[in-house]
Chain A
Amino acid sequence: MSEKFAIETHDLTKRYDGTTVVDRLNLRVRENEVFGLLGPNGAGKTTTILMLLGLTEPAAGTARVYGFNPTREPLKVKRLVGYLPERVGFYENLTARENLRFIADLNGLSYEEANRRIDEVLEMVGLTEAEIMEKVGPSKREKTVGKFSRGMKQRLGIADVLLKRPKLVFLDEPTAGLDPKGINQLLDLIADLPKMGTTVVLCSHQLYQVQRVCHSIGILSRGKMVIEGSIDKLGREALAGGRYQIQVETTAPTPQLVNVIREVKGVLGVEVQENVLLVSTDTDLRAEISKVVVQNDFPLIQMKIQEFSLDDIYMKYFREEQVGS
């Protein structure tokens, strides 16, 4: 991960008919990382992407994508950037290859180069010959996209984005409509993209998926960035410092017990919730904790370990916001 920024926005603002959709957004995405852009529906994620692509003009503020201003130099930005819209569409009467060849044409690739890259991206997204061909009598021919399943279209969408070998891709809900196997393959592919020199901005509601591939995240709410940072750091904040949370259930927690556990090496903090002690740690300390609890003659009913999840971060923020408003 480098310290150069692929995307930098400064007070980026967008208004539609008087309502502010994106409100003075300051977003920074490092080069060669996977950035998760989260937030509830209508938070302004897609609008932000459209502004960064130069498809929509910001009302105020500036944006820089690899040093280019998307509003002033949209072609330079679009040459570097790929965009997978939320509801991706293809020409249903054309085949997968024909659809991709049109995009290659628009990018000015030569016929041979286009063919080479089409084979390459189809393989990357796992669209096999068997899937894109159909039998007509004794011979075989390519299927039109109209006959594709939702998941195949989604994968074709990814192929379409990768065709121009972008330096930055925006993926809006890329896993929608995929089966679990397809999701796994796609997440692996996304996780590999930074190695090939491609920065990824991923918009998704599937927090588990975001957590699996993203290095850092930003949560948008009503057009404002409310939390931004690396996923580890945010996880620590949400779970009071540690990476793991160990729940120790006893009959009656006493201050002595809390002290005993606190003295175990590696424990970062202990919280009492009725009969449960919430111990936050950096490593799995279940063995050590159970040992000291039993050695000191405290009853131990059960122990559970939990690794922090993005759900905690997300929910923690929105719970706070609801209380606040």
Chain B
Amino acid sequence: MIAILRKELADYFTSVRFVILLILVIFVTAFGLVAASQGIRGANLPEGIVFLGLFTTPGKVLPPLTYLVMLMVPIIGIALGFDAINSERTGGTLSRILAQPVFRDSVINGKFLAGVFTLSVMVGAMLTLVSGYGLIMIGVPPSAEEVIRIFIYLFFTIVYGAFWLGLAILFSIVFRRAAASLLFLLALWLILSIFILPVAASVANAIAPTAEGSAEELMRNAELQQMIARLSPNILFQEATRVLLVPSVRSLGMVSMSQVAYMIPNPLSLGQSILIVWPHLTSLVSLSAVCFAISYVLFMRQEIRAT
């Protein structure tokens, strides 16, 4: 498996695809920094979480960096995995490799690991770039807690990317043609990251209409809407990001006015933030695992046939 891992990594790092993705990463970094430079002064963040503001403050027109990451990381995952297996199949290299004394699963394991590694390098580079330039820009060093939060965010992002990579590899096994797998993946990406929100809203309105406008109705409608949106890993990731990087977010659910009166408007401690996003993390990890497991089983069971 080491041999396959090594070869896949060499392939990724020397490919044109890698260069293009790297350019994309640099653009996203730049956009995020510009957005933060425009908005961070007006955000008026309390002491101790200023540095995190670099990642979460929107600009005048630009969305915050975290939103861009939510959109872009799936693209990296898709680009690295959409032709993992079907290109080997159409290129005639798969049967040649499987005729060598290697376990069949090392092929797919090696590809997945190489993809995750490449993805981690990119995301890591991006966060480091933002932190470095951000430090020069705002001149406020991060506190220890902020560093830990950024690392947890990095971990979340990698798991999130691994989900999309696993999905891409799954599609590359199911679809014989790379173009078909890419097209379906992009459609899915568009639905899960953007179209899910209006869909969730309309479904919630149909199931739990807010005709009378009572508090219970509104509550039910909002909760349903959130539940449907959370089916998308992208929304899940976005929520988790918000809690992790904006410590003043105290709850993701609905809070009634009477409860708000008793809320203390100070940032949550790290442990409490993690407690809120723990279900998100487990869901993302299990989604990635399920995705990879399905690809694994399909690949192991798929027969090598005479053309």
Q: A105-B3, A105-B6 are in contact. Are A55 and B95 (CB under 8 A)?
A: yes
Q: B91 at the A/B interface (Cβ < 8 Å)?
A: yes
When the two chains form their complex, are residues B91 and A85 in contact, meaning their CB atoms are under 8 A apart? no
Q: Tell me which of B3, B14, B92, B103 contacts A102 (CB under 8 A).
A: B3
Contacts of B6 on A, CB cut-off 8 Å?
Answer: 105
Ranked nearest first, the 9 interchain pairs of A and B with the lowest CB-CB distance are A89-B92, A46-B306, A105-B3, A83-B99, A106-B100, A89-B91, A55-B304, A78-B101, A79-B101
Whole-angstrom distance from the CB of A76 to the nearest CB of chain B?
A: 8
Contacts of B306 on A, CB cut-off 8 Å?
Answer: 21, 45-47, 50
Contact mask for chain A residues 245-270; partner B; CB cutoff 8 A; 1 contact, 0 none: 00000000000000000000000000
Whole-angstrom distance from the CB of A234 to the nearest CB of chain B?
A: 26
Q: A232 at the A/B interface (Cβ < 8 Å)?
A: no
Contact mask for chain A residues 59-101; partner B; CB cutoff 8 A; 1 contact, 0 none: 0000000000000000110110111011111111100000000
When the two chains form their complex, are residues B96 and A50 in contact, meaning their CB atoms are under 8 A apart? no
Which parts of A217-260 form the interface with B (CB within 8 Å)?
Answer: none
Q: How many A-B residue pairs have CB under 8 A?
A: 76
Q: Indicate the member of B11, B15, B95 with the most A CB atoms within 10 Å.
A: B95
Whole-angstrom distance from the CB of B17 to the nearest CB of chain A?
A: 11
Which parts of B65-89 form the interface with A (CB within 8 Å)?
Answer: none
CA distance A107 to B97 in the complex (A): 10
What's the dominant secondary structure at chain A's contact region?
A: mixed
Q: Tell me which of B3, B14, B92 contacts A88 (CB under 8 A).
A: B92
Contacts of A183 on B, CB cut-off 8 Å?
Answer: none
When the two chains form their complex, are residues A160 and B96 in contact, meaning their CB atoms are under 8 A apart? yes
When the two chains form their complex, are residues B307 and A107 in contact, meaning their CB atoms are under 8 A apart? no
When the two chains form their complex, are residues B100 and A107 in contact, meaning their CB atoms are under 8 A apart? yes
Interface residues of A (CB under 8 A from B): 16, 21, 45-47, 50, 53, 55-57, 75-76, 78-79, 81-83, 85-93, 102-103, 105-108, 160, 164
Contact mask for chain B residues 97-139; partner A; CB cutoff 8 A; 1 contact, 0 none: 1111111000000000000000000000000000000000000
Whole-angstrom distance from the CB of A132 to the nearest CB of chain B?
A: 18
Please report the total number of B residues contacting A with Cβ < 8 Å.
24
When the two chains form their complex, are residues B93 and A91 in contact, meaning their CB atoms are under 8 A apart? yes
When the two chains form their complex, are residues B305 and A16 in contact, meaning their CB atoms are under 8 A apart? yes
Contacts of B102 on A, CB cut-off 8 Å?
Answer: 75, 78, 106
CA distance A253 to B7 in the complex (A): 74
Contacts of B98 on A, CB cut-off 8 Å?
Answer: 55
Q: B201 at the A/B interface (Cβ < 8 Å)?
A: no
CA distance A86 to B305 in the complex (A): 12
When the two chains form their complex, are residues A107 and B101 in contact, meaning their CB atoms are under 8 A apart? yes
Whole-angstrom distance from the CB of B303 to the nearest CB of chain A?
A: 5
Contacts of B95 on A, CB cut-off 8 Å?
Answer: 55, 83, 85
When the two chains form their complex, are residues B93 and A50 in contact, meaning their CB atoms are under 8 A apart? no
Which parts of B15-59 form the interface with A (CB within 8 Å)?
Answer: 15
Q: Tell me which of A81, A86, A91 contacts B99 (CB under 8 A).
A: A81
When the two chains form their complex, are residues A78 and B100 in contact, meaning their CB atoms are under 8 A apart? yes
Whole-angstrom distance from the CB of B261 to the nearest CB of chain A?
A: 64
Q: B4 at the A/B interface (Cβ < 8 Å)?
A: yes
- Give the nearest-CB partner of B91 in chain A: A89
Q: A85-B96, A88-B96, A105-B6 are in contact. Are A56 and B305 (CB under 8 A)?
A: yes
Contacts of A57 on B, CB cut-off 8 Å?
Answer: 303
Contacts of A56 on B, CB cut-off 8 Å?
Answer: 303-305
Contacts of A160 on B, CB cut-off 8 Å?
Answer: 96
When the two chains form their complex, are residues A103 and B100 in contact, meaning their CB atoms are under 8 A apart? yes
- Give the nearest-CB partner of B98 in chain A: A55
CA distance A14 to B240 in the complex (A): 51
When the two chains form their complex, are residues A85 and B92 in contact, meaning their CB atoms are under 8 A apart? yes
CA distance A87 to B90 in the complex (A): 10
Whole-angstrom distance from the CB of B269 to the nearest CB of chain A?
A: 50
CA distance A105 to B95 in the complex (A): 16
Q: Tell me which of A46, A53, A92, A108 contacts B91 (CB under 8 A).
A: A92
Q: Tell me which of B7, B15, B103, B304 contacts A50 (CB under 8 A).
A: B304
When the two chains form their complex, are residues B3 and A86 in contact, meaning their CB atoms are under 8 A apart? no
CA distance A86 to B307 in the complex (A): 9
Q: Indicate the member of B7, B11, B96, B303 with the most A CB atoms within 10 Å.
A: B96
Contacts of A53 on B, CB cut-off 8 Å?
Answer: 99
When the two chains form their complex, are residues B97 and A106 in contact, meaning their CB atoms are under 8 A apart? yes
Contacts of B92 on A, CB cut-off 8 Å?
Answer: 85, 87-90
Q: Indicate the member of A57, A82, A85 with the most B CB atoms within 10 Å.
A: A85
When the two chains form their complex, are residues A87 and B7 in contact, meaning their CB atoms are under 8 A apart? no
When the two chains form their complex, are residues B93 and A106 in contact, meaning their CB atoms are under 8 A apart? no
Q: A83-B95, A89-B92 are in contact. Are A102 and B7 (CB under 8 A)?
A: yes
Contacts of B93 on A, CB cut-off 8 Å?
Answer: 89-91
Contacts of A88 on B, CB cut-off 8 Å?
Answer: 92, 96
When the two chains form their complex, are residues A106 and B4 in contact, meaning their CB atoms are under 8 A apart? yes
When the two chains form their complex, are residues B307 and A87 in contact, meaning their CB atoms are under 8 A apart? yes
- Give the nearest-CB partner of B100 in chain A: A106
When the two chains form their complex, are residues A78 and B91 in contact, meaning their CB atoms are under 8 A apart? no
CA distance A55 to B14 in the complex (A): 31
CA distance A108 to B101 in the complex (A): 9
When the two chains form their complex, are residues B99 and A55 in contact, meaning their CB atoms are under 8 A apart? yes
Contacts of A78 on B, CB cut-off 8 Å?
Answer: 99-102
- Give the nearest-CB partner of A83 in chain B: B99
Whole-angstrom distance from the CB of A216 to the nearest CB of chain B?
A: 23
CA distance A76 to B14 in the complex (A): 34
- Give the nearest-CB partner of B94 in chain A: A89
CA distance A87 to B304 in the complex (A): 13
